[in-house]
């Protein structure tokens, strides 16, 4: 190779006695090229001072996109078989999957579902299938517990978790903006005249989100000192008796939580929703009965997750990221039959 000329894929191919396609795929770490050949090509590229031209790559990608079929490949949507998970899969999960699937199709990819767990594949078996089929994008669907995908050969994949936090391994994630959503809900309740809000959460869910709902609730109440300090109820299981004891003792005028069955427990305690008390659902997609509360917009969580996943594929950003980042999607307030104004009050201004 002439030392005065800039190294190219063509010159590397001539030097190594390989085809340009093989060299190009090796530089992009494509698994169809053997590991030994990939290492050989990369070593030669480093020695020659080869650098990818991002503008040229972008132009070539666009040429291929318009010249060839719009189908670019398959992405994996991986869920965990978790028998302890309540109401799985529910409307939230299904709407997220729909958003991811539809956006993937718009961008030329097919999203294929896989399940890992007792009734599904082992992580090792999933790894074998993904590699054999050349699937390089992995969307991990929301899990109830702590998902562990460390056994996947991540040098071959790029991954996104469609929930708040994953650390086995630490990947980029996309999820609802829980603190901002709580501020939206509390502002709405304040403007409706509620002054004794009570928060009910499952311990597992609160732990999984690193108490982001609770933090937003307490922060809002701290700023608005006219609100009573009703202690939040954190339950191991969504159980009737401890809820009713808490409700009778602390007398909240509105309950914030995820499960609409709490309305019937409030009724047993003498409340009439929405006449005397209110209920605000933190995730309206978890219940079939209409409620006032937050639409966490799972469809758009799915859309953003797939867009991030495909962007990483297009930038050849495979492996575990050095700096995993979290993208949040704002929740949307939805009026419903479980809330009504208690008295005309000036708006909070938040």
Same domain, 130 and 266: no
| Long-range contacts of residues 85-90, Cβ cutoff 8 Å, at least 24 apart | 85/143, 85/144, 85/145, 86/144, 86/238, 87/286, 88/144, 90/285, 90/286
Give a yes or no: residue 339 inside a domain.
Answer: no
- 142 and 58 share one domain: no
pTM of the predicted model as reported, rounded to 2 decimal places: 0.78
Mean residue pLDDT across the chain: 89
- State yes or no: pLDDT of 13 exceeds 90: no
Claim to verify: residue 18 and residue 94 sit in the same structural domain: no
DSSP state of 285: G
**Residue 58 maps to which CATH number?**
1.10.260
pLDDT band at 18 (very low <50, low <70, confident <90, very high): confident
Indicate if the alpha-carbon torsion angle 71, 98, 335, 296 is positive or negative. Answer: negative
pLDDT score recorded for residue 348? 47
Residues 165 and 232 in one domain: no
Determine the structural domain holding residue 49 and report its residue range: 9-67
pLDDT tier at 316, thresholds 50, 70, 90: very high
In a shared domain, residues 232 and 286 = yes
**Mean pLDDT, residues 69-80:** 86
Measured CA to CA, the distance from residue 284 to residue 297 in angstroms comes to 10
pLDDT at 207: 94
Say how many domains are in the chain: 3
User: Are 132 and 47 members of one domain?
Assistant: no
Are 185 and 286 in a shared domain?
yes
* Percentage above 70 pLDDT, the chain: 89
Q: Are residues 185 and 261 in the same domain?
A: yes
Q: Is 323 a member of any domain?
A: yes
pLDDT, tens digit, for every residue of 82-135? 876 655 458 899 999 999 999 999 999 999 999 998 888 999 999 999 999 999
Is 336 inside any structural domain?
Answer: no
Assign 15 to helix, strand or coil.
Answer: helix
What is the SS3 string spanning 75-88? EEEEEECCCCCCCC
Based on the fold, state whether residues 182 and 292 are members of the same structural domain. yes
Residue 71 has pLDDT above 90, yes or no: no
In a domain, 4, yes or no: no
Task: For residue 78, list its beta bridge partners.
Answer: 114, 140
CATH of the domain at 139: 3.40.50.2300
Q: Would you state the pLDDT for residue 219?
A: 97
Residue 271 lies in a domain: yes
- Do residues 166 and 306 share a domain? yes
For the chain, the straight-line distance linking the first and the last C-alpha, in angstroms and rounded, comes to 66
161-202 pLDDT, tens per residue? 999 999 999 999 999 999 999 999 999 999 999 999 999 999
Supply the pLDDT for residue 6.
77
pLDDT-wise least confident of 70-74, 165-169, 174-178, 269-273:
70-74
Confidence of residue 22 (pLDDT cuts 50, 70, 90): confident
Name the packing angle between helices 35-48 and 20-27 (round to 10°): 90
56 has a pLDDT exceeding 80: no
Window from 10-24, 77-91, 259-273 with minimum mean pLDDT? 77-91
Residue 62: which of 317, 314, 316 has the closest Cα? 314
Give domain status of residue 350, yes or no: no
Q: Work out the average pLDDT over 41-53.
A: 82
Residue 347 lies in a domain: no
Residue 282 lies in a domain: yes
Residue ending a domain, among 32, 67, 102, is 67
pLDDT category of residue 5 using cuts at 50, 70 and 90: low
Distance of CA 175 to the CA centre of its chain: 4
**Could you give the percent of the chain with pLDDT greater than 90?**
70
Q: How confident is the model at residue 349 (pLDDT cuts 50, 70, 90)?
A: very low
Residues 281 and 270 in one domain: yes
Of 14 and 276, the one with more pLDDT: 276
Q: State yes or no: pLDDT of 63 exceeds 70.
A: no
**Alpha helices per DSSP H over 17-120:** 20-27, 35-48, 54-67, 91-106
Does residue 150 or residue 56 have the better pLDDT?
150
Q: Which segment of 58-62, 76-80, 97-101, 341-345 scores lowest on mean pLDDT?
A: 58-62
Instruction: Indicate if 167 and 90 belong to the same structural domain.
Output: yes
């Amino acid at each position: 190779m002439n030392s005065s000329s800039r190294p190219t894929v063509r010159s590397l191919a001539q030097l190594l006695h390989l085809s340009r396609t093989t060299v190009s795929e090796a530089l992009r770490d494509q698994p169809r090229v053997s590991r030994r050949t990939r290492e050989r090509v990369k070593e030669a590229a480093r020695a020659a001072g080869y650098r990818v031209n991002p503008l040229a790559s972008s132009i070539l990608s666009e040429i291929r996109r318009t010249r060839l079929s719009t189908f670019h490949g398959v992405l994996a949507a991986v869920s965990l078989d978790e028998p302890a998970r309540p109401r799985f899969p529910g409307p939230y999960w299904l709407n997220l999957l729909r958003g991811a699937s539809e956006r993937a199709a718009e961008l030329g990819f097919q999203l294929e579902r896989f399940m890992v767990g007792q009734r599904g594949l082992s992580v090792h078996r999933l790894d074998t299938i993904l590699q054999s089929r050349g699937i390089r994008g992995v969307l991990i669907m929301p899990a109830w517990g702590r998902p562990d995908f460390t056994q996947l050969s991540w040098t071959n994949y790029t991954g996104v978790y469609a929930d708040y936090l994953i650390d086995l391994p630490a990947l980029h994630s996309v999820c609802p903006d829980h603190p901002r959503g709580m501020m939206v809900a509390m502002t709405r309740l304040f403007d409706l005249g509620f002054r004794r809000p009570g928060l009910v959460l499952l311990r597992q869910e609160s732990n999984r989100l690193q108490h982001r709902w609770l933090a937003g609730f307490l922060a809002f109440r701290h700023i608005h000192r006219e609100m009573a300090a009703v202690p939040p109820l954190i339950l191991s299981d969504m159980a009737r008796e401890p809820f009713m004891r808490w409700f009778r003792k602390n007398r909240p005028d509105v309950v914030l939580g995820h499960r609409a069955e709490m309305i019937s427990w409030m009724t047993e305690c003498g409340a009439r929703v929405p006449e005397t008390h209110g209920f605000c659902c933190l995730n309206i997609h978890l219940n079939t009965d209409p409620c006032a509360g937050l639409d966490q917009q799972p469809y758009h969580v799915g859309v953003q997750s797939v867009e991030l996943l495909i962007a990483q594929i297009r930038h050849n950003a495979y492996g575990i990221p050095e700096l995993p980042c979290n993208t949040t999607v704002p929740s949307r307030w939805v009026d419903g039959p479980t809330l009504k104004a208690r008295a005309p009050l000036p708006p909070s201004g938040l």
